[in-house]
C-alpha cells in the first residue's frame, strides 16, 4: 500500500500524518534543490541571474499553500508538470556556441537558442507550477496537524532533503540518479493512476538522456564536459555549457597561451622558489611552475572534479610530481588558514562561472578579488615575493583589479596585454613586495577615469561597473513581482484578505535576508565550497527546529520581549565586523560566527512559532510567510548598493514592520 493511500485517509493516525508530511517536505526541498542545480547546468541565462529558480520556488510553494483550502486536489499532477519542465529544458538548452558556428548562443544539436525573453518566462512559470502542485500536497497534509506540530514535521523532512541531496551531489551522481530518487518519491506519495506513473517514468527517461553522455561529468558545482584530445594534444573542458579550461601540453603552451609564462619572465630571481597557485584547475599553471624550476608548488582548487580530471588526463601529469601539494578548498579560505610564505603567488584564471547556492549574487571566486584578499596575499609573500593574476578582463574590471593591487602594494603593477576577445582583453597584472623583485617593462596606467573602487569583503562584486544593478535586473525583478501579485490574487482572492497574516509576510521577508547574510558570511569566513554552503543551510534548518522544540515545551516570554531580544541579536551581529572574526583561529572563529549568525535565526523563529501556533489557518499563514520570503529574495539585491552588512539594518526595519503589523496578536499569552 502506498503512503499516499495509507497516510492520507480519514483513519490515518497522527503519527502516520506526520510521517507523510515529513516525506512530502523531503521531496519538496529535494525537487527545489534539483531544479536550482540542474537548470543552471543547461541554460546559461541562469548564470547571470543568481536566484531566479529560488524566487520561482518560493512563489510556487506559497501559492501551493494558499490552494490548500480548495476542494479539488491537484497535487498528484506534480510528476506530470516536472516531466514537462525537464522536457522543455532538454529540448531547448542554451549554451555558449562554438566560435566556428558564428553564433553567440546555441541550442540542441547546434540549432539556434531560444531568446531569453521566451526561455526565462517559461522556466519561471514552469518552476512555479511544479512547486505549487507539490506544495499543495504538503499543505493539505499540513492542516491535519496542529500548526507547530506540522511545522516541526516539515522542517525535519526539509533537513533530510538537504542531507540527501548534498550527499548525492558530493558523490557526483548523474541526473538520472536524482530522477530515480524523485520518481520513487512521487510513486510512494502521489501516484494514483496510470498518467502519474507514466510521468514519473518519463522523468527518469528524460534525465537519462544527458546522463548517458560519456563526456559529461558532475561535480558538486556544475556539469563538466571533457572533450576528446585535439591534434596537438589539448583537451577542452566546458562547465554548464560554457568554455572554461583547456589542458595544453607544455610544448604547445608558449605558442598557444604565452601569458602563462609572463609572471616568470618578470621575476628577478633565477627560479620561482615556493609557489602558491590559486585556481590550479586542471594543471596548466602547475606544469609551468614545475618546468621553471619551482622548489615546491601548493596547488589550490575549489572543484574536486576539475582537479581529478587534471590528475588523470593532463598531458604532462603535473599533479603526479612529488613537489606538488594539492588542497581542494576555497582560495580565500586557504589564505586565511595557512600561515606559510611564498616566493610567488598566482591567481591563475580563477573564474568559476557559477554562483554560491543561487543566493547572495556571490560567485565562488568573489572573495578572492577584494582589497582584503589582496592584503592577505601580500602577507603571504616572502621578502622578495611576487604576486601575479591573469585572465580575460573587461576594461573597467582590469582597472579595478590593477588599482586594488596598486593600493595594497604601494606601486603601480606591471602590466602585460595579450589577445582581445571583445569586450575582454587578456592581461597579466604583476607586483612585487619590493620594486626590485620584478622586471617591469610596462607599468599599469588606468584606461578610464575615475578608477572603479576596489571590491571589499562587505561589497564583493568585482564584476559590477558600480554600486547599482543593470536595468535588466530591475526589469526582471519587477516582472517577477508583478507575476507574483497576479498569481496570488488568482489563488487567494482579494489581496486584502491576507492582511491578517501581514506580520508573517514581513517575517518571511526578513528571514530570507537573514539567511542570505549567513550564507555570504560563512562563505567569507570558511570558504565558498559546497561543504560550507550545505552546513549553513543545515544549520539554519536546525536552528529553526530548535526554536520549534523550545516553543512546544517552554513557556516563552511575551511577544514584545522576544522582538526586543531579536533586535538586540541583529544589532550585535551588525556591530561585529567580519574582519574581527577572520583574525581568530579556526575553532573560536567558528564558535563566534555560529553564535552571531544563528542567534537571530533562533530568536526570529521563536517569534514566528509563538505567532504561528495560534493562527486560524496554518496553510494560509505559512503561504503568506513563504511569499514574504520571495520578496526578501528580491530585496537581497539591495546589497549591491549597500553592501551585505547593511542588510541587517533592512532586517531590523522589516521585523519592526512585522511587530507593528501584528500588534493585535501581541497580547496572546505565550
* Grid cell in block for residue 365: 571566486
Q: Read off the pLDDT of each residue in 32-54 and give the average, rounded to a whole number.
A: 88
Tens-digit pLDDT profile for residues 482-503: 888 888 877 766 556 667 889 9
* pLDDT exceeds 90 at position 149: yes
Q: Which of 285, 608, 640 is nearest to 461 (CA)?
A: 640
Percent over 90 (pLDDT), the chain: 54
Q: Residue 242: exposed, middle, or buried by beta-carbon count in 10 A (0-12, 13-18, 19+)?
A: middle
Element (H, E) at 201: helix 194-211
Return all residues near 209 (Cβ < 8 A) that are at least 6 apart.
90
Selection from 423, 427, 419, 446 nearest residue 388 by Cα: 427
Alpha helices in 465-585 (DSSP H): 471-492, 502-526, 530-553, 559-575, 578-582
Highest mean pLDDT: which range of 563-572, 585-594, 627-636: 563-572
Average pLDDT over residues 446-458: 84
Nearest one of 300, 286, 275, 278 to 385, comparing CA atoms: 275
Cis peptide bond prior to 423, omega within 30° of 0: yes
Q: Between 46 and 387, where is the model more confident?
A: 387
What is the CATH number assigned to the segment(s) 487-670?
1.20.1250.20
Rounded Cα distance, 589 and 407, in Å? 28
Residues 367/532, Cβ–Cβ less than 8 Å: no
Is the bond into 450 cis (omega within 30 degrees of 0)?
yes
The rounded distance, in Å, linking the Cα atoms of 335 and 332 is: 5
Write out the H or E segment, with its range, that includes residue 287: helix 284-291
The yes-or-no verdict on residue 358 having pLDDT over 50 is: no
Helix (H) or strand (E) holding 140: helix 116-142
Angstrom distance (rounded) from CA 26 to CA 625: 19
Per-residue model confidence (pLDDT) at position 308: 96
pLDDT at 22 over 60: yes
- The tens digit of pLDDT for each residue in 281-316 reads 999 999 999 999 999 999 999 999 999 999 999 999
The reported pLDDT for the residue numbered 496 is 61
Task: Please state, as a whole number, how many other Cβ atoms lie within 10 Å of the Cβ of residue 505.
Answer: 25
Check: pTM over 0.85? Answer yes or no.
yes
Whether the per-residue pLDDT at 615 is higher than 90: the answer is: no
Mean pLDDT over residues 34-62, rounded? Answer: 88
Count Cβ atoms within 10 A of the Cβ of residue 228 and give its class: 0-12 exposed, 13-18 middle, 19 or more buried: exposed
Task: Give the pLDDT confidence score for residue 205 in this predicted structure.
Answer: 93
Strand-by-strand arrangement of the 223-226 sheet:
216-218, 223-226, 235-239, 242-247
As a three-state string, the secondary structure of 302-369 is CCHHHHHHHHHHCCCCHHHCCCEEEEECCHHHHHHHCCCCEEEEEEECCCCCCECCCCCCCECCHHHC
Give the separation between CA 314 and CA 326, rounded to whole angstroms. 15
Q: What is the mean pLDDT of the chain?
A: 88
Would you place residue 357 in the very low, low, confident or very high pLDDT band (cuts 50, 70, 90)?
very low
DSSP state of 124: H
What is d(CA 204, CA 189) in angstroms, rounded to the nearest whole number? 17
pLDDT of residue 50: 66
pLDDT tens readout for residues 173-220: 999 999 999 999 999 998 667 888 899 999 999 999 878 888 899 998
Instruction: Check residue 103 and give its pLDDT.
Output: 58
Residue 9 has pLDDT above 80, yes or no: no
The DSSP code for 229 is P
- Find the mean pLDDT for residues 317-345: 95
- Of the candidates 36, 45, 133, 41, the one whose C-alpha atom is nearest the C-alpha of residue 476 is 45
pLDDT in tens, 82-102: 999 999 999 999 998 765 444
Per domain, the residue ranges of the chain are: 1-212, 247-353+371-437, 487-670
Give the separation between CA 183 and CA 34, rounded to whole angstroms.
Answer: 13
**Which CATH code fits 247-353+371-437?**
3.40.50.150
If you average pLDDT over residues 218-224, what whole number do you get? 90
Rounded CA-CA distance 428/435 in Å is 17
- pLDDT number for residue 1: 44
pLDDT of residue 415: 87
CA 552 – CA 662 distance, rounded (Å): 21
Determine contact, residues 162/541, Cβ cutoff 8 Å: yes
For the segment 91-147, what is each residue's pLDDT rounded down to a tens digit? 999 998 765 444 588 888 888 899 999 999 999 999 999 999 999 999 999 999 999
Partners of residue 217 on adjacent β-strands: 224
Q: How far apart are CA 151 and CA 145, in angstroms?
A: 9
Reading phi first (left if > 0) and then psi (alpha if -120 to 50, else beta), residue 365 is in: alpha
Amino acid at each position: 500500500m502506498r503512503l499516499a493511500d495509507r497516510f492520507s485517509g480519514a483513519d490515518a493516525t497522527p503519527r502516520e500524518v506526520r510521517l507523510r508530511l515529513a516525506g512530502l517536505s523531503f521531496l519538496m526541498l529535494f525537487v527545489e534543490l534539483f531544479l536550482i542545480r540542474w537548470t543552471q547546468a543547461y541554460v546559461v541565462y541562469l548564470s547571470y541571474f543568481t536566484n531566479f529558480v529560488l524566487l520561482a520556488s518560493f512563489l510556487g510553494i506559497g501559492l501551493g499553500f494558499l490552494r490548500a483550502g480548495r476542494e479539488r486536489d491537484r497535487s498528484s499532477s506534480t510528476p506530470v508538470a516536472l516531466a514537462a519542465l525537464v522536457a522543455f529544458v532538454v529540448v531547448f538548452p542554451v549554451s555558449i556556441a562554438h566560435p566556428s558556428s558564428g553564433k553567440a548562443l546555441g541550442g540542441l544539436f547546434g540549432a539556434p537558442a531560444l531568446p531569453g525573453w521566451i526561455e526565462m518566462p517559461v522556466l519561471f512559470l514552469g518552476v512555479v507550477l511544479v512547486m505549487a502542485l507539490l506544495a499543495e500536497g504538503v499543505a493539505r497534509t499540513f492542516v491535519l496537524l496542529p500548526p507547530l506540530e506540522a511545522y516541526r514535521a516539515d522542517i525535519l523532512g526539509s533537513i533530510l532533503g538537504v542531507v540527501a541531496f548534498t550527499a548525492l551531489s558530493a558523490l557526483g551522481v548523474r541526473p538520472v540518479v536524482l530522477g530515480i530518487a524523485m520518481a520513487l518519491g512521487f510513486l510512494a506519495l502521489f501516484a494514483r493512476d496510470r498518467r502519474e506513473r507514466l510521468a514519473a517514468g518519463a522523468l527518469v527517461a528524460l534525465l537519462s538522456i544527458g546522463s548517458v553522455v560519456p563526456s559529461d561529468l558532475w561535480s558538486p558545482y556544475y556539469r563538466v564536459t571533457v572533450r576528446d584530445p585535439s591534434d596537438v594534444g589539448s583537451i577542452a573542458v566546458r562547465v554548464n555549457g560554457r568554455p572554461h579550461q583547456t589542458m595544453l601540453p607544455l610544448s604547445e603552451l608558449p605558442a598557444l597561451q604565452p601569458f602563462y609564462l609572463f609572471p616568470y619572465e618578470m621575476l628577478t630571481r633565477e627560479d620561482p622558489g615556493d609557489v602558491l597557485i590559486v585556481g590550479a584547475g586542471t594543471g596548466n599553471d602547475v606544469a609551468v611552475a614545475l618546468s621553471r624550476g619551482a622548489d615546491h608548488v601548493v596547488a589550490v582548487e575549489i572543484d574536486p572534479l576539475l582537479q581529478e580530471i587534471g590528475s588523470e588526463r593532463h598531458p604532462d601529469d603535473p599533479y603526479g610530481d612529488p613537489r606538488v601539494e594539492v588542497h581542494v578548498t576555497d582560495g580565500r579560505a586557504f589564505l586565511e588558514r595557512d600561515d606559510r610564505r611564498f616566493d610567488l603567488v598566482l591567481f591563475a584564471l580563477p573564474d568559476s562561472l557559477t554562483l554560491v547556492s543561487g543566493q547572495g549574487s556571490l560567485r565562488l571566486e568573489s572573495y578572492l578579488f577584494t582589497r582584503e584578499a589582496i592584503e592577505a596575499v601580500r602577507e603571504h609573500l616572502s621578502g622578495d615575493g611576487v604576486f601575479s593574476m591573469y585572465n580575460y578582463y573587461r576594461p573597467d574590471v582590469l582597472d579595478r583589479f590593477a588599482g586594488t593591487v596598486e593600493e595594497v602594494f604601494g606601486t603601480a603593477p606591471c602590466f602585460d596585454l595579450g589577445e582581445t576577445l571583445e569586450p575582454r582583453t587578456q592581461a597579466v597584472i604583476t607586483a612585487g613586495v619590493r620594486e626590485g623583485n620584478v622586471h617591469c617593462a610596462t607599468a599599469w596606467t588606468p584606461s578610464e577615469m575615475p578608477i572603479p573602487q576596489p571590491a571589499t569583503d562587505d561589497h564583493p562584486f568585482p564584476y559590477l561597473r558600480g554600486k547599482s544593478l543593470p536595468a535588466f535586473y530591475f526589469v526582471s525583478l519587477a516582472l517577477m513581482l508583478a507575476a507574483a501579485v497576479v498569481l496570488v490574487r488568482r489563488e487567494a482572492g482579494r489581496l486584502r484578505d491576507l492582511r491578517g497574516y501581514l506580520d508573517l509576510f514581513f517575517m518571511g521577508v526578513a528571514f530570507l535576508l537573514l539567511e542570505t547574510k549567513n550564507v555570504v558570511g560563512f562563505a567569507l569566513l570558511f570558504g565558498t565550497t559546497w561543504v560550507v554552503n550545505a552546513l549553513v543551510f543545515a544549520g539554519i534548518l536546525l536552528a529553526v527546529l530548535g526554536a520549534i522544540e523550545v516553543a512546544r515545551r517552554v513557556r516563552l516570554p511575551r511577544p514584545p520581549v522576544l522582538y526586543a531580544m531579536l533586535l538586540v541579536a541583529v544589532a550585535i551581529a551588525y556591530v561585529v565586523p567580519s574582519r574581527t572574526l577572520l583574525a581568530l583561529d579556526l575553532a573560536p572563529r567558528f564558535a563566534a560566527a555560529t553564535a552571531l549568525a544563528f542567534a537571530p535565526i533562533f530568536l526570529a523563529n521563536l517569534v514566528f512559532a509563538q505567532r504561528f501556533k495560534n493562527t486560524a489557518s496554518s496553510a494560509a499563514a505559512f503561504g503568506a510567510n513563504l511569499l514574504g520570503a520571495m520578496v526578501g529574495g528580491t530585496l537581497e539585491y539591495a546589497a549591491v548598493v549597500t553592501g551585505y552588512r547593511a542588510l541587517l539594518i533592512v532586517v531590523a526595519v522589516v521585523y519592526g514592520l512585522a511587530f507593528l503589523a501584528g500588534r493585535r496578536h501581541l497580547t496572546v499569552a505565550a
